[in-house]
Structure 1
Amino acid sequence: MQIHETADTFDLPDKRVWVVGDLHGNAGWIQTLLPAMRRHAPSLRTILQLGDYGFDHGHLGTHPVDYWSKRAGIERVLVTLGNHEEWDHITAAQENAPGMAIRVSEVVWLLSRPFRFKIAGREVLSLGGASSVDKAFRTAGKDWFEEELITERMEAAAITGGPADLMLTHESPTAAVPEVQRLLMNNPHEFPPEALAISAAQRERVQRVADAALPHLHMHGHMHVFGDLERDDGRSVVSLDRDTFAGNAGVLDMATLSFEILPLADIRGWR
Structure 2
Amino acid sequence: MIPYLFVGDLHGNMASADLAIAEAAQYGATIIQVGDWGFLWGSSTRTIPDDPDIDPDDFGAQVAHRLASPRLIDQTDNLSALLVAAGVSMRYVDGNHDVHPLLRAYPPGDDNVAPNLTYQPRGSLYVDADGTRFVFLGGAVSIDKAARVPGRSWWPEEAVTAADVRAAERHGAAHVLVTHDAAVLPPGVSDVGVAVGHRLAAADNRAYIAEAIQALRPQVHVHGHWHRAYQTRAGRMTTIGLDRDGHAGLWRLWRRGDD
**Is the aligned partner of 1:69 residue 2:53?**
no
Residues 60/246 of structure 1: CA separation in 2 closer, same or farther (3 Å cut): closer
- In the alignment, what sits opposite 2:96? 83
Aligned partners of 2:76 and 2:153: how far apart in 1?
25
* Correspondences of 1:217-236 after superposition (within 5 Å): 217-231=220-234, 233-236=235-238
The unaligned stretches of length 5 or more in structure 2 are 42-71
Aligned partners of 2:202 and 2:9: how far apart in 1?
17
- In the alignment, what sits opposite 1:118? 127
Q: Report how many residues are paired.
A: 228
**Partner residue of 2:212 out of 209, 224, 230:** 209
Deviation at 1:62, TM superposition (A): 7.5
Residues 63/102 of structure 1: CA separation in 2 closer, same or farther (3 Å cut): closer
3-state SS, counterpart of residue 24 of structure 1: coil
Aligned partners of 2:116 and 2:82: how far apart in 1?
10
- In the alignment, what sits opposite 1:26? 13
3-state SS, counterpart of residue 21 of structure 2: helix
Aligned partners of 2:75 and 2:146: how far apart in 1?
34
TM-score of the superposed pair, with normalisation by structure 2: 0.80
Residues 170/84 of structure 1: CA separation in 2 closer, same or farther (3 Å cut): same
The unaligned stretches of length 5 or more in structure 1 are 1-13, 259-271
Contact 1:223-1:241 at 8 Å conserved across structures: yes
**Partner residue of 1:170 out of 180, 191, 206:** 180
Residues 89/29 of structure 1: CA separation in 2 closer, same or farther (3 Å cut): same
Contact 1:35-1:71 at 8 Å conserved across structures: no
Residues 137/108 of structure 1: CA separation in 2 closer, same or farther (3 Å cut): same
CA RMSD of aligned residues (A): 2.2
**Partner residue of 2:39 out of 55, 70, 74:** 55
Deviation at 1:35, TM superposition (A): 2.8
Aligned partners of 1:141 and 1:249: how far apart in 2?
30
AA of the residue aligned to 2:127: K
Residues 141/60 of structure 1: CA separation in 2 closer, same or farther (3 Å cut): closer
Residues 155/61 of structure 1: CA separation in 2 closer, same or farther (3 Å cut): closer
Once superposed, which parts of structure 1, at least 4 consecutive aligned residues long, lie more than 4 Å away? Answer: 57-62, 99-102
Deviation at 1:214, TM superposition (A): 0.7
Contact 2:124-2:167 at 8 Å conserved across structures: no
Residues 32/163 of structure 1: CA separation in 2 closer, same or farther (3 Å cut): closer
TM-score of the superposed pair, with normalisation by structure 1: 0.77
- In the alignment, what sits opposite 2:190? 184
Aligned partners of 2:92 and 2:249: how far apart in 1?
18
Aligned partners of 1:17 and 1:159: how far apart in 2?
23
**Partner residue of 1:243 out of 233, 245, 256:** 245
Contact 1:20-1:240 at 8 Å conserved across structures: yes
Residues 60/49 of structure 1: CA separation in 2 closer, same or farther (3 Å cut): closer
Residues 34/157 of structure 1: CA separation in 2 closer, same or farther (3 Å cut): closer
Residues 68/139 of structure 1: CA separation in 2 closer, same or farther (3 Å cut): same
Contact 2:7-2:20 at 8 Å conserved across structures: no
